[in-house]
Amino acid sequence: MKKSVQLLQEFSIPLIAGVVVALVWANIAPHSYHEFVDTEWFAGINFHFFVNDLFMVLFFAIAGVEITQALLPGGDLNPIKKAVNPLLATLGGVLGPVSVYFILNTLIGSPEFTRGWGIPTATDIALAWLVARFVFGEKHPAVKFLLLMAIADDAIGLIIIAVFYPDPLHPVEPLWLLLTLAGMAIAFLLRKKQVSNYWPYILFGGVLSWAGLHNAHLHPALAFVFIVPFLPHKERENMHLFEEGIDEHSPLARFEHEWKVIVDFGLFFFGLANAGVEFSAIGIPTWLVFLGLIVGKTVGIFLLGNLGQLLGFPLPTGMGRKELFLAGVVAALGLTVALFVAGAAFTDEHIQGAAKMGALFSASVAAIAIILGKVLKIEKVKDSETVTAQKHL
C-alpha cells in the first residue's frame, strides 16, 4: 500500500488525473463544469476559491520548506558559490521566456496579452524532476542541477506572483500587510520560545498572514511562505528533496512530512479547478505561453549556463553542453505553477483559457525531452559509482 502511494506521488498521478478529468468535463459539458467550479457555497467561497486561495497555501508552503532547506549549510543553495551556475541558468530560465513572450506579443499579439509575461517563467518542479530522472538516469548530475534551478525558480515565481499579479479588480491595500507582519512576528517569538510543535506557528502566524494578504488583495496562497522559515529546523541540511535521507524530527521536517502527501494528492483538485479549458479557447496567448516556455526556457538556460562557465563557475562533473541544453528543455515543463499564474494574470475568461492551454501544452515537453535524450545519446547514470568514476576522469 505504501509503495503504491509513493508511486502515485512520484509520477504526479493525482495532478495529471485532475487535469484530464477537467479537460474532458469542460469540453463535454462546459456548463456543468463551470457551475461546479464557480457556484458559491457560502460567504463568497466556491470550489475555485477553496482550491486556489486555501489549499494552494499548503502547496506554496511546501515550496517554502524546500527553499528554506536549500539555503541551510549543506543545502543545495549554500554556500552561494556552489550554486552560481544553476542560479545563472535559473535567471536565464526567467529572462528567456519573458523576452520571447514580449517579442512574440509585439509581432503577433496585442497589448491586452501583456500581463501574461510571467506565465512561462514557471517550472513544474515535480514533473521536471520526474522527466529528468527518466531522461538522464537517477544519479546523473544534471538531475540535481535541474532540481537546483527548479528550487530557485520557485523562489522567483513566488516573488513574481506576489509583486506583479495582485487582483486587478481590487486595488492593493498595503496597510493590511501589517497583519502579515504580525503573523511573522508571532512566528519569530514562538521560535525564540523554542516551541517545537508547528501548529501554533500555522494557527497564529499563518492565519494572520493569510488574512493580511487576502485583505490587502494580494494572493493569500503565499501566506505560509512568510511563516515557514521561522519553523525550527536542524542547523545543517543532509537530505535532499524527493530523496530518502536521515530521519529528522524538527518542526520544519515534520510539517513537510505530514503535509506533502496531502498536497500531492490534493493536486487532483487543483487540476480539476484550473485545467477545465475548452479546446476552442486556443488562441494567440496559447502560443505566446507555449513558445515562451519551450524556446525561452531552453535558450535562456543554455546561454546563461554557458556564461557561468566562461565566468569561472563550471557545470557539475559529468555535465556538458548537450546535457545543459536538454536540462533547459525539461525545465520548460510549466504545468502547475503556470496554470496558477495564468489564473492570476488574466480576468478575461477567454484570454485566461487560451493562456492556460499554453501551460497545458507544455506537458508535451516530456515526450520532446525523451526523444532528444535518444538523439543526443545521453548516457543514463543510475548509480553513484558511475558519478564517482566520472569525477576521476
Please check the confidence at residue 50 and state whether its pLDDT lies above 90: yes
Better pLDDT: 120 or 72: 120
d(CA 257, CA 255): 6
Grid cell of 48 as nine digits: 475555485
Q: Which residue has the cell 488562441?
A: 283
**Stretch 16-43: mean pLDDT, rounded?**
93
Out of 9-23, 39-53, 176-190, 308-322, give the one with best mean pLDDT: 176-190
Length of the chain: 393
Name the strand (E) or helix (H) holding 286. Answer: helix 284-291
Residue 160 banded pLDDT, cuts 50, 70, 90 = confident
Residue 99 banded pLDDT, cuts 50, 70, 90 = very high
Tell me the DSSP string of 182-216: HHHHHHHHHHHTT---HHHIIIIIIHHHHHHHHHT
Better pLDDT: 159 or 368: 368
pLDDT above 70 covers a percentage of the chain that reads 90
Residue 387 banded pLDDT, cuts 50, 70, 90 = very low
Question: Is 390 strand, coil or helix?
Answer: helix
d(CA 329, CA 369): 6
Segment 206-233, tens digit of pLDDT: 999 999 999 998 889 889 999 999 999 8
| 53 contacts 220 by C-beta, under 8 angstroms | yes
Residue 245 banded pLDDT, cuts 50, 70, 90 = very low
Residue 95 banded pLDDT, cuts 50, 70, 90 = very high
Name which of 103, 106, 101, 61 is nearest 258 in CA terms: 61
Residue 240 banded pLDDT, cuts 50, 70, 90 = very low
Pick the CATH number of 2-165+219-383 from 1.20.1600.10, 3.40.50.150, 1.20.1530.10, 3.30.450.20: 1.20.1530.10
d(CA 139, CA 71): 22
Please check the confidence at residue 156 and state whether its pLDDT lies above 90: no
Residue 246 banded pLDDT, cuts 50, 70, 90 = very low
Based on DSSP, count helices (H) and strands (E) in the chain, helices before strands: 19, 2
Name which of 335, 372, 303 is nearest 89 in CA terms: 303
Residue 244 banded pLDDT, cuts 50, 70, 90 = very low
114: Cα within 13 Å, side-chain hemisphere = 5
Better pLDDT: 76 or 112: 112
pLDDT value at residue 10: 61
Residue 3 banded pLDDT, cuts 50, 70, 90 = low
**Stretch 8-22: mean pLDDT, rounded?**
82
Grid cell of 316 as nine digits: 557539475
d(CA 149, CA 90): 5
pLDDT value at residue 1: 66
Question: Is 296 strand, coil or helix?
Answer: helix
Tell me the DSSP string of 338-372: HHHHHHHH--SHHHHHHHHHHHHHGGGHHHHHHHH
In eight-state DSSP terms, residue 194 is: T
Torsion of CA 208, 211, 217, 220, to 10 degrees: 80
Name which of 328, 333, 335, 334 is nearest 300 in CA terms: 328
pLDDT value at residue 128: 85
pLDDT value at residue 144: 80
pLDDT value at residue 381: 82
Identity at 281, one-letter amino acid code: A
pTM of the prediction?
0.76
Mean pLDDT score of the chain: 87
d(CA 101, CA 342): 14
pLDDT value at residue 237: 67
In eight-state DSSP terms, residue 317 is: T
d(CA 191, CA 386): 43
Out of 45-54, 248-257, 328-337, give the one with best mean pLDDT: 45-54
pLDDT above 90 covers a percentage of the chain that reads 53
